[in-house]
Amino acid sequence: MLDEIMTVEERAVVARARAFAEEHVAPNAARWEWDRHYPLETIKAGCAQGFNTIELAKKHGGQGLSFSCKLRAFEEIAKADFAFAFAMINHHNACARFARDGQPAHVARLLPRMLTGDLIGCAGLSEPGVGSDFGGLEMEAVRVDGGWKLNGAKAWITNAAVAGLSVAYAQTDRAKGYRGIACFAIEAERPGFHREKPFELHGGHAIGVGGFRLVDYFAPDEAVLHPPGEAFKAALAGINGARAYVAAMCCGMLQASLETAVRYTQQRKTFGQPVLDHQGVRWKLVDAATDLEAARLLTYRAARLIDEGADAVLPAAYAKKFATDMAVQRIADCIQAMGANGLRADYPLARHLAGAKIAAYTDGSIEMMNERIGAGLGQVFGVAKEAGA
């Protein structure tokens, strides 16, 4: 288990995340959803607790801790609400990437506001007509004197409802395909940036998902985070981590759902005995608990490999595929164990079910994980079989 190999400082961060979620997220998550509210005030409170600086280098004012620490902290926060956890971790990632890859003067000007939450960050990958085909980006960047002029639209962007800085990707030369993609730090306060109306996303309003359009937006040279030829590789480098922490968030949601369902079925009686004593109900929850353990093992293995700098492509895909798929099914089983009461807003299960379904699409759908794993079958199994023949 990850907690056993983390430092005392890292375990303290995880404990602080657990306490923060219980105090600030769990009591408010249902209201955020019903009111269709992006909880900027609680995002800022999370920044004050350092949840946007876990992996950020110490030289930039961060904590310089491990990926595993970040993953575990946000697993704890997701127990209370996936949407908030996903919004917070995306701001964290934007802080870390901008600080790492930005020009010093640019970082010095904007990062302090990002650290306090006065300037929220987001990624700028997905587009309205492109979906998961990152190599087919349509946002265009044209070289001009002193920088680049950008035109195009982004969609399905976490934090887009309020984000002031986007780590965005655009195509500089379609003939070069993915090698023509560059990465820019896009500021919402500059001319040419147009924010779209946030999406009304069932079960995930706290994510603040939406989009923006750039119309003759001028990005100065200092805003280039990765030039053409480097941006595509840099974007893919972070995808394994994203798949692992989304899997961890699914584990968090299922654990919270199991805890709620077990408590409820222990106390609720039917036909003269607690609901949990009915074998049909008990075995369903046993299956959920078993799948939770399996998902955690897959997820934590991927996290350890990422921290070690090892190849985590397939381990992260295994974790993402299994955790998201099983979370949808097993959270539904927890709801079923509670009967119709499982759907009441008094309990978080329906919101967790929606969160698990959202997680099934983020950072690569289950179908994409199947393709990624399938592409490696010959190498993992076929070659080994031939060698042993």
At residue 131, the pLDDT reads 64
Confidence bin at 388 (pLDDT 50/70/90): very low
Sheet strands (E) in the chain: 121-124, 140-144, 147-157, 165-171, 181-187, 193-195, 210-220, 224-226, 269-270, 273-274
Query: Counting Cβ atoms within 10 Å, is residue 342 exposed (0-12), middle (13-18) or buried (19+)?
Result: buried
pLDDT tens digit string along 303-329?
999 999 999 999 999 999 999 999 999
Q: How high is the pLDDT of residue 178? A: 87
Task: For the chain, give the number of residues.
Answer: 389
Q: What tokens appear for 60 in the block?
A: 């930039």
**193 in helix, strand or coil?**
strand
Confidence of residue 132 (pLDDT cuts 50, 70, 90): low
Using alpha carbons only, what angle is made at residue 339 by residues 336 and 343, rounded to the nearest 5 degrees? 85
pLDDT on residue 389: 42
- Tokens coding 320: 């993402």
Cα 199 from Cα 381, distance rounded (Å):
43
Q: Give the tens place of pLDDT for each residue, 361-378.
A: 988 888 888 888 998 888
Q: Helix axis angle, 349-359 relative to 313-337, nearest 10°?
A: 150
Kindly state the average pLDDT of the residues 105-131.
92
pLDDT digit string, tens, across residues 229-241: 898 888 888 899 9
Provide the pLDDT for residue 134.
Answer: 72
| Sign of torsion over alpha carbons 320, 321, 326, 329 | positive
CA dihedral over 377, 381, 384, 389, signed as positive or negative = negative
Q: Stretch 79-102: mean pLDDT, rounded? A: 97
